[in-house]
């Protein structure tokens, strides 16, 4: 009876390990997909930051709220740069996790990527939106109307 229980336990552990190993290609594809999804979002955030920085440089230093707006744009730029750095460094981590064959390592990398992208994208978007709103109130017409094309649909 004990032998049967031990064999059952051993076989269930082996099956779980096989199932996890089968998840590796899916997780690797997910990690690469996260980077692919994030790039157009970052490009959009960059397109929004640039005219704000240029318009802000043209304003008199005594413009109310200018310093706070500059701080927000600095924070937004930092968040965008952090996402780009994560995209670059996590590529190596994904490759290492795949080579190790350890699903848990790859899950950790994907989770870190997702958390960084989500957190920093929210920060950058909120900061940029705040400055756009401030700029529209303080200096109407200072910003050109930026029409951002919708992101391209991924091809299957």
Read off the pLDDT of residues 79-121 as tens digits, 9 standing for 90 and up: 999 999 988 888 888 888 888 888 888 888 889 889 999 999 9
Classify residue 147 by its DSSP letter: -
**pLDDT band at residue 14, thresholds of 50, 70 and 90?**
very low
- Report the percent of the chain where pLDDT is more than 90: 32
How far apart are alpha carbons 14 and 8 in whole angstroms? 10
CATH number of 21-138: 1.20.140
pLDDT of residue 63 exceeding 50, the answer is yes
> 2-58 and 66-100 are packed helices; what angle lies between their axes, rounded to 10 degrees?
150
> 66-100 and 103-138 are packed helices; what angle lies between their axes, rounded to 10 degrees?
160
Whole-number pLDDT of residue 145: 54
65 — alpha (psi -120 to 50), left (phi > 0) or beta? left
- Report the percent of the chain where pLDDT is more than 70: 76
Distances (CA, A) of 78 to 106, 127, 133, 144: 26, 11, 20, 23
Give the containing element (helix H, strand E) for 153. none
Whole-number pLDDT of residue 8: 41
**Mean predicted confidence (pLDDT) in 22-43:** 86
Whole-number pLDDT of residue 20: 59
Task: Write down the pTM of the prediction.
Answer: 0.71
């Amino acid at each position: 009876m004990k032998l049967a229980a031990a064999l059952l336990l051993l076989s269930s552990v082996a099956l779980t390990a096989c199932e996890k190993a089968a998840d590796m290609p899916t997780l690797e594809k997910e990690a690469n997909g996260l980077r692919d999804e994030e790039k157009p979002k970052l490009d959009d955030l960059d397109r929004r930051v640039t005219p704000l920085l240029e318009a802000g440089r043209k304003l008199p230093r005594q413009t109310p709220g200018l310093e706070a707006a500059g701080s927000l744009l600095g924070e937004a730029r930092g968040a965008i740069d952090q996402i780009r750095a994560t995209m670059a460094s996590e590529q190596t981590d994904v490759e290492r996790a795949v080579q190790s064959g350890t699903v848990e390592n790859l899950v950790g990398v994907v989770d870190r990527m997702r958390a960084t992208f989500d957190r920093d994208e929210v920060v950058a978007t909120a900061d940029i939106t705040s400055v756009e709103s401030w700029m529209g109130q303080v200096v109407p017409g200072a910003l050109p109307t930026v029409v951002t094309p919708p992101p391209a649909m991924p091809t299957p």
